[in-house]
Amino acid sequence: GRNGLGNIFVWASGNGGHKSDSCACDGYTNSVYTLSVSSITQRNSKPWYLEECASTLAATYSSGGHNDKQVVTTDLRGQCTSTHTGTSASAPIAAAIVALVLQANSNLTWRDVQHITVVGANSGDFLFDAEWLRNQAGLRHSRRYGFGLMSAARMVALARLWARQVPQMLRCQCDPVVANQQVPVQGALSISVVVSSGGCSCNGGKGKTVRVLESVQLHLDASYSNRGQLQVTLISPGGTKSMLLTPRLYDNHNGDCGFQAWPLMSVQFWRESPIGKWQILVENRGSPSNHGRVATATLVLYGTEAEPIQLRRPNPPMPDWLLPWSSVMLSEPGGSIGCHRLCADNDNCTGSGPDHCHQCRHFYRSSGDGVGGVCVESCRTDDGEYADTANRICRPCHSACRVCRGPGNTVGNKRGGDCLACRSHAVSLLGNSSSIETAADLVACMPAGSICPARYYSVATTGVDKLSAAACAPCPVGCAACSGFNGASRTASRLRANCSSCQPGYLLLEPSGVCYAGRDCPMGHWLASSGVCLACSDSECRLCSSIFDKNNAECLSCRAPLMLSRSDGRCIDPVANAVSCPSEFDGCSMCLPDVGICGLCQPDRFMDFSDGLDGANGANGRCLKECPAERPYACQVSFGNSMVSGQCFALPCSRLSHLFRSRS
């Protein structure tokens, strides 16, 4: 929101105080992104409805008792009302003050506004029942009124003096403390967490180093027989004792309800150092019959590594309320900071760093969390970014792309794709014409761990330029599903795969794993089951069938020039198996012993084939001097060592050449 400066969420802290409810159990007031606001009566006292909690940031005026005035504001149907009440009236007043602050300085981030609220709040003694707590950093906070009454005058003045945006908010989450301990009937269950000075180091921990605190959350996992009678206190290394949860009279949830990783938040440690030993106290404040246990407790710290605030020094005299903040002011009244060289203008910034420019000279790079960014000279175009030159912004590539020209993950000029190279951990999607060596038809880069889509198979491509370590290659034409061939091996720079099932209109040929277009099995195969053609057991067999044995196909005819042996069903060479011909075989130079027909005609004769097509077992044993009119084409077929036989066919020899194989 607000062009990266962040939306400001103002929230009413709640009106259940007369029933001892606590805003600590409101998920919105416990959010670090919320400016939680409570109420003060016209008598500067606590309203009867006010809920108390450690996450309240500030307060504004609202209604009180029966004799106190209420808030005048707009109403439904274009009317006005003078009876607006509760924290629901305080929150809009707070939002109006924030609007004045942003009018004075529109470059403030959502966290700038929180800091301005803390610094500008009036914590004077006129709030006589505030029950102030002073923290180690010297700030006063009330569980009723936060850091005090919001002052429009002070906050607008601060907005004008705000020299730079506060640094990016850092988060340090300590590893959970596995307590798994009973809450004692009397006294408190004590849990300790130690935060060291070296980075985010607390019970392990993960995140960034926080040295100046803002908000602190305690995520509690606990079950209790009467949740409303628990009290939770957090004590900082500086000794600040913040009551995160007080007993709630009407919360009598029991059993396993408890708290399930519920965040209890406090702003009472604002500007303190987190270094040292933190103590968590969980107490039973009700009946001795109550029982339950704390499973885990997780401390989460929010803040910055260095001083977050820098103010321009106001012209004298300095107001008393601003004196405590002299240490964060520039040396000269109204002093200029001097913008970073990457800013578009030397006087158009809120600080001296490249993250405080209002406009960038070259390019702007977002921090990725939506709350800030930095000016840079150029984009990381070889590592996951592309330059949006029209808007001077470095934008991220798709998570699977290393080099890109847009946010998409499709590849290639001819597709208008954005991705130009995949990341090493991504999955490359290859096109139909890709070779594994060149990735000539890379289609898309998919996120790491992606499963190959339908009609693609997984292939290892380690060490191949432009490709990631894993890729998805398309199945061959006609495949419905396939797998890598011999471990996704390469043949003639091409990817190969075995089909395991075929699309409609195709038959699966086994064991070759090829999908064949047609309704009938091709030569050398037989239909073993629906959609599957098995190769004949004899590779020389042209036609086989399982009519007589469903588990085994019998050869019915052989590929030319071989012929089928009647004795054992094998395809035999008519030259190697020839015998002398009986006298009735006129013009025949050799015969087959168990075929009963002429195997080879004399050189001046032509073998007649009754089917006129394929030259395999169609021979009727006649050797003719001339081919008949119905089969006029005399085609030469080689036998043995340079032996040639003429054969008569109905089709031209050129159309039959694929049916014959010369034998040597």
What mean pLDDT do residues 611-627 have? 58
3-state secondary structure of 561: coil
Where on the phi/psi map is residue 310: left (φ > 0), alpha (ψ -120 to 50), or beta? beta
The residue extents of the domains of the chain are 2-161, 170-304, 401-502, 573-659
- For residue 625, what pLDDT is reported? 84
Higher pLDDT, 101 or 444: 101
| pLDDT of the residue at 599 | 67
Cβ-proximal residues to 232 (8 Å cutoff; 6+ apart), any chain: 218, 220, 243, 244, 245, 264, 280, 281, 282, 283
Which residue, among 176, 170, 219, has the nearest Cα to 199 in the 3D structure? 170
> Average pLDDT, stretch 511-521?
89
Please state, rounded to an integer, the average pLDDT across all residues of the chain: 83
In 230-384 the beta strands, taken as DSSP E runs, fall at 230-235, 241-245, 259-266, 276-284, 292-304, 311-313, 329-333, 363-366, 373-376
Task: Kindly write down the DSSP assignment for every residue of 293-305, as one continuous string.
Answer: EEEEEEEEEEEES
For 55-113, how does the pLDDT look when each residue is reduced to its tens digit (9 = 90+)?
A: 999 999 999 988 889 999 988 999 999 999 999 999 999 999 999 999 999 999 999 99
> So what's the pLDDT on residue 661?
38
Higher pLDDT, 653 or 148: 148
Distance, in Å, from the CA atom of 456 to the CA atom of 488, rounded to the nearest integer, reads: 12
What pLDDT, on the 0 to 100 scale, is given for residue 582? 73
Report pLDDT digits (tens) over 331-351: 666 555 567 888 887 766 766
**pLDDT at residue 546 greater than cutoff 90:** no
What are the tokens at 472? 């998805």
Reply yes or no on whether the pLDDT at 25 is more than 60.
yes
The model's pTM = 0.54
pLDDT at 548 over 80: no
The mean pLDDT value for 387-406 works out to 90
Length of the chain: 664
Fold of 2-161: Rossmann fold (3.40.50)
> What's the rounded mean pLDDT across residues 110-135?
97
The answer to whether the bond into 354 is cis (omega within 30° of 0) is: no
Six token digits for residue 484 = 């890598």
Report whether pLDDT(460) > 80: no
Residue 614 has pLDDT above 50, yes or no: no
Per DSSP, the chain holds a count of helices (H) and strands (E) of 3, 47
Domain range 170-304, its CATH number among 3.40.630.30, 3.90.650.10, 2.60.120.260, 3.30.420.10: 2.60.120.260
pLDDT band at residue 441 using 50, 70 and 90 as cut-offs: low
Beta strands in 140-211 (DSSP E): 140-141, 170-173, 177-182, 188-195, 206-207
Res 103: pLDDT: 94
Does the pLDDT value for residue 641 go beyond 90? no
pLDDT of residue 297: 94
